[in-house]
Amino acid sequence: MLAYLVAVAIIFGIYALLTLSLDLHYGFTGLINFGHVGFFAIGAYTSAIATLNGLPYIAGFTAAAALAALAAWPLGLLALRLREDYLAIVTLAFSEIVRVIVTAEKWLTRGTQGLPDIPRPFASLGSGYAEIAYLGLVAIIVLAAVLLIRHLIKSPFGRLIQAIRDDEVTVTALGKDPAGAKIRIFMIGAAIAGVAGALYAHYITYIVPDQFTPLVTFYVWMAMILGGVGRISGALLGTAILISIFEGSRMLRDLFPGILQVEMANLRLALVGLLLVMFVLYRPNGLLASRSDP
């Protein structure tokens, strides 16, 4: 039972990082990013490849954050000039380009065969303790991310990005530069997603390109909306709901062993799709808020 809870908590932590960073992009700054899984993938593969080639974990994690942030830079530049619907499509295209590159460059990533046997920190502690230690690592990183984002939001910089979200034209008219702030936020959020990717790779220990489809991005969007956009507590709440859906559907399958795993996966997907539609229609501000702003 404990092992199960630890596993769920670890997945929660990883997705929480994704939701928090997407919230940084969209909830706080208004950047419509539909390619978030791309940063996740870059982080996962970077750290996996680094550590599989003998580099220490700290190098892997740092490289994951750095490369994800680096990838965000040209995207951020594009974001400055594109209207929001084009940006949505372009960011989606970006994450698919990442997946295609990862699939094609077999010499680096072993393509569709994926990367097995990714080393896991604390593995030497033995079964049970290793997972708890890993959870500790995840928890520390999530806490650090929350504190970082909180400090950022409460600072004048945080006020500036929210002003940019609310009315970028006025920010320009007042003599400030939205461009630099948007790019920086884009890169910070990407770095956090990259770290999440590294945590994921080292936990699962076997990654393939198909784990990084746009569906992951949509899960995170759903989590962000359900919990309430633009609030740290909302991001965490939304992630909790998302994980509940994942685990709840797994438990249902244990209750009804006649259901195939594939069917359960589709039922879960249908629920996610339905919730997304319902919440957009009736509760766009999240579970706890009433219908006010679109």
Which residue in 103, 204, 205, 283 binds another protein (CB under 8 A)?
103
Q: What would you report as the CA-atom Rg of the chain, rounded to the nearest whole angstrom?
A: 19
Which residue in 110, 176, 250, 283 binds another protein (CB under 8 A)?
176
CB of 18 to another protein, least distance (A): 16
**For another protein, which stretch binds (CB under 8 A), given 1-9, 117-125, 159-167, 237-245?**
159-167
**What residues numbered 28-87 form the site for another protein, per CB under 8 A?**
30, 32, 78, 80-86
CB of 204 to another protein, least distance (A): 23
**Count of residues near another protein by CB under 8 A:** 70
How many helices and strands (H and E) does the chain possess? 12, 0
The separation between CA 2 and the C-alpha centre of its own chain, rounded to angstroms, equals 25
**For another protein, which stretch binds (CB under 8 A), given 131-139, 177-185, 200-208, 250-258?**
177-185
Dist CA 236 CA 51 (whole Å): 30
**What residues numbered 196-215 form the site for another protein, per CB under 8 A?**
215
CB of 286 to another protein, least distance (A): 13
- CA distances from residue 119 to 49, 192, 256, 294 in whole angstroms, order as listed: 10, 21, 35, 45
Cβ–Cβ < 8 Å for 220, 22: yes
**For another protein, which stretch binds (CB under 8 A), given 5-13, 63-71, 236-244, 280-288?**
280-288
**Interaction of residue 144 with another protein, rule CB under 8 A:** no
**Interaction of residue 158 with another protein, rule CB under 8 A:** yes
Per-residue burial over 12-41, b = 16 or more CB atoms within 10 Å of its CB, e = otherwise: bbbbbbbbbbbbbbbbbbbbbbbbbbbbbb
Strand partners, 115: 207
The token pair that represents 102 in the structure block: 């990862």
